[in-house]
Amino acid sequence: MTSKEIINNLDKIDITEPVPANEPERQYYFIKKAKEIYKLKREEAGRDLTCTIKTFGCQMNVRDSEKLAGILETIGYKRSDSEEADFVIYNTCTVRENANRKVYGHLGIMKHEKESNPHMMIALCGCMMQEPQVVQTISEKYKFVDIVFGTHNVYKLAELYCNSFHAKGTVIDIWKDTNLIVEDLPTTRDSSFKSGVNIMFGCNNFCTYCIVPYVRGRERSREPEDIINEIKRLADDGVVEIMLLGQNVNSYGKGLKENITFAQLLKRVTEIDKIKRVRFMTSHPKDLSDELIEVMASSDKVCRHLHLPVQSGSSRILKQMNRSYTREQYLTLVDKIRNRIPDIALTTDIIVGFPGETEEDFNDTMDMVEQVRYDAAFTFIYSKRTGTPAAAMTDTNDKAVINERYQRLIKRVQEISAEKIKGLTGQVLPVLVEGKSEENGSLLTGRLSNNTLVHFVGCESLIGKIIDVKLVESKGFYYMGEAVI
Ligand code: SAH
Ligand code: SF4
Ligand code: F3S
């Protein structure tokens, strides 16, 4: 169902009847009830009430926030960018300690905001809330928070909102894990022409440094028909670019009735007429199949970009990270991909300072960067996450040494990236125009199929369209171009 159809169907729901037990009907019931509560609050305030959602972390959270926004707007809230809104939601990330710290920083400020706005509600959700010690801290030190929920029950926002209306203290609803995937709830997209689409949830890989499997639960795939139908609806609504989302999209399909691989799903998505570009995130190198490389090579709609996190260039560290590939296997895979798809851009994630990383291990990472020559690399300093196997490993690394390595890595990564990007100068290539440039409002900005940014002069009516742009001058990580119309 489209969001519009869902909203139209709400009229038929009678909230004097008992609460439905099944989803999504149960949530439609609570959305209707929440609309009544919103009306009361609105009358009391004498004005429309606003909401804002602050999203931390990855594309998964970005997509979850669009679902939260869909529910809030259906209830009646008007969107705002300000943290002075009447309903503020923090959709949190806990992949590294600093992501976690930021949220407490915001909460400190919000305490005062809330004291000056009697209509204000604050909700916390997302990955950080799946950690019991966090929820304990919130319930002890941040009692002014109205609702706390996790990653498994995002769809329940309307129900929690209704509960909170009748409750005295904080409403807390955290699930350890779930098999449930609730379809057909309203979503509000951030963009009119591109959209993320979840194809799977959770992760079963348990890389030893990573908290995601603990906070996102076990891997589960969505039914292919649900995914395809959602994308068809998006296409009918003007979306031209799709990003298929999962922590490890290459293992898509396990546990479904139908025998289907990620490559087959991707092929089906490319067959949807109005979809012009398809991207996906993230690919684990251990599961990247020849079949996938073939599907990528044989369709122009699959973007010439592959994010292939390597994490480390040292086979010894990779083993301790439980990444299930060696340095040699990764390099062989890169060769195979580049031989079949020569114009592909490869990007990666790298962790510096994993417990016990020696200078030799780090040099292997530097050498990996030299050999692969990534188009871009996201570099992270290892952050100890309580409960993960790596947190129990002996770590004698010196902070200053890690910092120095980190700087060395970033410098080299950026140099190579600038050299790589420059390589397309003079070519005319299709660009999906995404909006006005953030740095210079008189310019438009868009992306090449390989994900490189291009700025150029053009009319705002081009936003959302794919047009040819001549790449005139490379400026490090982006191009200055000229529209060819
Ligand atoms: N599922 C994706 C990545 C999700 S997390 C994948 O497997 O590629 C995004 C990135 O954060 C990871 O690739 C990793 O480089 C980094 N990361 C995860 N845990 C971390 C930690 N404890 N410290 C530092 N970086 C970490
Ligand atoms: Fe974390 Fe590894 Fe899963 Fe990625 S594949 S989310 S790094 S455990
Ligand atoms: Fe962060 Fe959760 Fe994504 S921990 S990186 S928001 S899956």
Closest residue by CA, ligand 3 atom 1 = 93
Q: Are 127 and 151 in contact (CB under 8 A)?
A: yes
- pLDDT over 70, % of the chain: 100
Residue 366: partners with Cβ closer than 8 Å, 6 or more residues away: 313, 408, 409, 412
Q: Are 479 and 454 in contact (CB under 8 A)?
A: yes
Give the pLDDT of residue 191: 94
Give the pLDDT of residue 211: 97
Q: Are 375 and 414 in contact (CB under 8 A)?
A: no
Closest CA to 38 of 156, 161, 153, 167: 161
Task: Please say if the pLDDT value at position 331 is more than 90.
Answer: yes
CA 309–ligand 2 middle distance (angstroms)? 10
Closest residue by CA, ligand 1 atom 10 = 349
Is 438 or 480 the better-scoring residue by pLDDT? 480
Tens digit of pLDDT for each residue in 364-395? Answer: 999 999 999 999 999 999 999 999 999 999 98
Mutation to probe ligand 1, out of 312, 351, 382 (largest number of atoms < 8 A from CB): 351
Q: Is the CB of 127 under 6 A from ligand 3?
A: yes
Q: Is the CB of 162 under 6 A from ligand 1?
A: no
Closest residue by CA, ligand 2 atom 1 = 210
User: How far apart (Å, rounded) are the C-alpha atoms in residues 478 and 468?
Assistant: 16
Task: Please say if the pLDDT value at position 1 is more than 80.
Answer: no
Closest ligand by atom to 247 CA:
1
Tell me the pTM: 0.95
CA 211–ligand 2 middle distance (angstroms)? 8
CA 323–ligand 2 middle distance (angstroms)? 9
Mutation to probe ligand 3, out of 60, 124, 207 (largest number of atoms < 8 A from CB): 60
Number of the ligand 3 atom closest to the C-alpha atom of 151: 2
User: pLDDT band for position 462 (50/70/90)?
Assistant: very high
Task: Please say if the pLDDT value at position 7 is more than 90.
Answer: no
Q: Is the CB of 282 under 6 A from ligand 1?
A: yes
Q: What average pLDDT does the segment 212-235 reach?
A: 96
Give the pLDDT of residue 376: 96
Give the pLDDT of residue 162: 97
Q: Is the CB of 214 under 6 A from ligand 1?
A: no
CA dihedral for 313, 319, 320, 323, sign (positive or negative): positive
Mean per-residue pLDDT of the chain: 95
CA 15–ligand 3 middle distance (angstroms)? 36
Give the pLDDT of residue 398: 93
Q: What average pLDDT does the segment 406-433 reach?
A: 96
Number of the ligand 2 atom closest to the C-alpha atom of 247: 6
Give the pLDDT of residue 356: 95
Q: Is the CB of 154 under 6 A from ligand 3?
A: no
Report whether the peptide linkage leading into residue 342 is cis, meaning its omega lies within 30 degrees of zero. no
Number of the ligand 2 atom closest to the C-alpha atom of 216: 6
Strand 376-381 with 345-352, pairing? parallel
User: How far apart (Å, rounded) are the C-alpha atoms in residues 350 and 40?
Assistant: 51
Closest ligand by atom to 365 CA:
1
Give the pLDDT of residue 4: 73
Tens digit of pLDDT for each residue in 44-101? Answer: 999 999 999 999 999 999 999 999 999 999 999 999 988 889 999 999 999 999 988 8
Closest CA to 125 of 30, 70, 57, 31: 57
Residue 41 has what DSSP assignment?
Answer: H
- Tell me which H or E stretch contains 481: strand 478-483
Closest ligand by atom to 55 CA:
3
Least confident residue range of 116-120, 125-129, 463-467: 116-120
Q: Residue 464 corresponds to which tokens in the numbers above?
A: 């959302």
Give the pLDDT of residue 12: 86
Task: Please say if the pLDDT value at position 152 is more than 80.
Answer: yes
Q: What average pLDDT does the segment 148-159 reach?
A: 96
Q: Is the CB of 198 under 6 A from ligand 3?
A: no
The residue to which tokens 């949530």 are assigned? 27
Task: Please say if the pLDDT value at position 277 is more than 90.
Answer: yes
- Give strand pairing partners of 194: 241
Task: Please say if the pLDDT value at position 415 is more than 80.
Answer: yes
Give the pLDDT of residue 113: 87
Give the pLDDT of residue 184: 87
Give the pLDDT of residue 332: 98
CA 212–ligand 2 middle distance (angstroms)? 6
Q: Are 368 and 327 in contact (CB under 8 A)?
A: yes
Q: Are 454 and 469 in contact (CB under 8 A)?
A: yes
Tens digit of pLDDT for each residue in 18-44? Answer: 999 999 999 999 999 999 999 999 999
Give the pLDDT of residue 26: 95
User: How far apart (Å, rounded) are the C-alpha atoms in residues 27 and 36?
Assistant: 14
Task: Please say if the pLDDT value at position 154 is more than 80.
Answer: yes
CA 258–ligand 2 middle distance (angstroms)? 25
- Give strand pairing partners of 305: 345
Give the pLDDT of residue 8: 78
Strand 444-448 with 428-436, pairing? antiparallel
The three-state secondary structure class of 231 is helix
Give the pLDDT of residue 205: 95
Q: Is the CB of 57 under 6 A from ligand 3?
A: yes
User: pLDDT band for position 179 (50/70/90)?
Assistant: confident
User: pLDDT band for position 168 (50/70/90)?
Assistant: confident
